Structure 1
Amino acid sequence: MDPSVAHAISQETGQPQPFSLELLQSVTYLHVSYARTLEDLSACRNLEILQIIGCDPVDVGQLGNLPELATIVVQLSNLESLVGIENFPSLSRLTAGMNQIRDLTPLLSCSELRRLDIQGNPLSEFSYRTIVSQLQEKGIRVSVSDEADWKMTIELQRHGFPYCFYKAHDGTRLCRPGLALTDLPDLSHPIVPREELANLLDQSPEEVPKLFDRKDLMPTTFGP
């Protein structure tokens, strides 16, 4: 079992490893940060709320069938594919901001989904313009990046930077989802105006990674 997953279970249950199957099946809420694998969560059959922050990789297919799972929050992680999301028949809310999601098609099979947040993802043109509309027509409340921010994330990826560009309360920020480039993907998100970033990508793309080292660009308050 991944140490971060074990820590989350211990925090929730107050019990150390090894965990009995009965204990795992009693867990209804978990908050997991910085895990390298989530496959052992499939034993938590009665999970209702799952928060995943800064994990890498994240494969929803590893979670198996979780019939009670109603809320998933997976942010700043290396979630690339939503294949397997249909294994959560009770899913009503998915918050998946700042990942590496391109294809939203699997969400069309989520009959109970009512709220979706997919801001800061490098969505494909088809997902951004067509699937989002189809989800909204199904009565789902969708939060998605505005077109300029979405295109900036796409442009970053085109230049070879696996970053996400997103709007926060104090401006637009850059982040590095997953654990490939940082041990703490939920920290150090420089505030960078879109025009400044566009100029860097056009004239000096090698300077873009250095933005994460500039203390003068770091937020002084918490939260997105």
Structure 2
Amino acid sequence: MEPEIVKGVELARLHKRLRRDDSDTIKELHVAHAKSLTGLANFPDLEILILAGCDPVAPETLPTLEHLLSLRIHDSGLRGLEGMNKFPSLRLLAMPRNWIHDASPLLDCNLASLEIEGNPLSRNSYEVVLPELMRRGCDVSRSQEREWRASLRIRETNIPLSCYENSGQYYLCSPGLEITESPDTDHPEIEIDEVENLLDRDPNKLLDLFRQRGGVWPPPDL
């Protein structure tokens, strides 16, 4: 089993003991910085699964968790959403700060809530798919148009960075484990104007900006 999953299981069991829960069933699991999700099939009763800074992540490679109600995958290497409808009970889906471009597979899911900020969504996903999900009654949290456009432009340059806004402040991030070992915390503050200016003049300097403001570049093992 992936070592980071083992750590998550140990923490889950500790929490159960603190709650005086003697059952063997694990219904909630937090996994951080895993490079493989091998072993999740051992926990078919999961209702809540949180994956933070994991890479790679793909719904089609995850086990079919029939009881899964809430899935949160953030700051991870999630790129495609094919197979997300394999979780029949899933109602709450949060995927902030990943590499998602095509959100159309979500139209086959029955979601009550969706968080998808900080992803380089295609124009169709942002302007057609997400409004359709909202029309169906799903509570959708998405990037504002300015940072969405910036993230989409960054994607088109093949630079492994994305842009998002939180409480009026803009940040750069690099989802997954390609260039940082802490993708869920290495989020330097930036001004959206400077990102747009660099995209116009010299997009490659975005990596310098990421490093200078506190991001990790090059990778720690270099």
TM-score between the two structures when normalised by the length of structure 1: 0.87
**1:40/1:63 contact within 8 Å kept:** no
Alignment map for 1:143-182 (pairs within 5 Å): 143-169=141-167, 171-182=169-180
Residue 17 of structure 2 is matched in structure 1 by: none
Residues 93-130 of structure 1: CA deviation (Å, up to 9, x unaligned):
1110000111112211222x100010111111111111
Residue 58 of structure 2 is matched in structure 1 by: 59
Residue 36 of structure 1 is matched in structure 2 by: 35
Deviation at 1:32, TM superposition (A): 0.4
Which 4+ residue blocks in structure 1 deviate beyond 3 angstroms?
Answer: none
AA matched with 2:204: E
**Quick one: distance in 2 between partners of 1:176 and 1:99?**
8
User: Unmatched 5+ residue regions in structure 1?
Assistant: 15-21, 218-224
User: Aligned in 2, Cα 1:159/1:215: closer, same or farther, shift over 3 Å?
Assistant: closer
Most deviating of 38-47 and 70-79: 38-47
Residue 8 of structure 1 is matched in structure 2 by: 8
Residue 112 of structure 2 is matched in structure 1 by: 114
Residue 86 of structure 1 is matched in structure 2 by: 85
Residues 128-179 of structure 1: CA deviation (Å, up to 9, x unaligned):
1111111111100101111111110011111221211100125110000000
Find the residue that maps to 2:181 and give its secondary structure: coil
**1:58/1:79 contact within 8 Å kept:** yes
**Quick one: distance in 2 between partners of 1:186 and 1:169?**
17
User: Unmatched 5+ residue regions in structure 2?
Assistant: 15-22, 216-222
**1:188/1:212 contact within 8 Å kept:** no
**Quick one: distance in 1 between partners of 2:104 and 2:158?**
25
> Aligned residues: percent identity?
35
Residue 17 of structure 1 is matched in structure 2 by: none
Equivalent of 2:134, from 122, 133, 136? Answer: 136
Deviation at 1:74, TM superposition (A): 0.6
Equivalent of 1:210, from 208, 211, 221? Answer: 208
Deviation at 1:91, TM superposition (A): 0.8
**Quick one: distance in 1 between partners of 2:108 and 2:213?**
44
**Quick one: distance in 2 between partners of 1:206 and 1:80?**
22
AA matched with 1:74: I
How many residue pairs get aligned? The number is 208
Residue 220 of structure 1 is matched in structure 2 by: none
Find the residue that maps to 2:90 and give its secondary structure: coil
Residue 18 of structure 1 is matched in structure 2 by: none
Find the residue that maps to 1:116 and give its secondary structure: strand
Most deviating of 196-205 and 26-35: 196-205
Deviation at 1:62, TM superposition (A): 1.9
**Quick one: distance in 2 between partners of 1:65 and 1:206?**
40
Alignment map for 1:69-108 (pairs within 5 Å): 69-108=68-107
**Quick one: distance in 2 between partners of 1:149 and 1:138?**
25
**Quick one: distance in 1 between partners of 2:112 and 2:213?**
39
**Quick one: distance in 1 between partners of 2:190 and 2:107?**
34
Residues 30-51 of structure 1: CA deviation (Å, up to 9, x unaligned):
1100001113212210100011
Residues 36-77 of structure 1: CA deviation (Å, up to 9, x unaligned):
111321221010001110000001122221111011111000
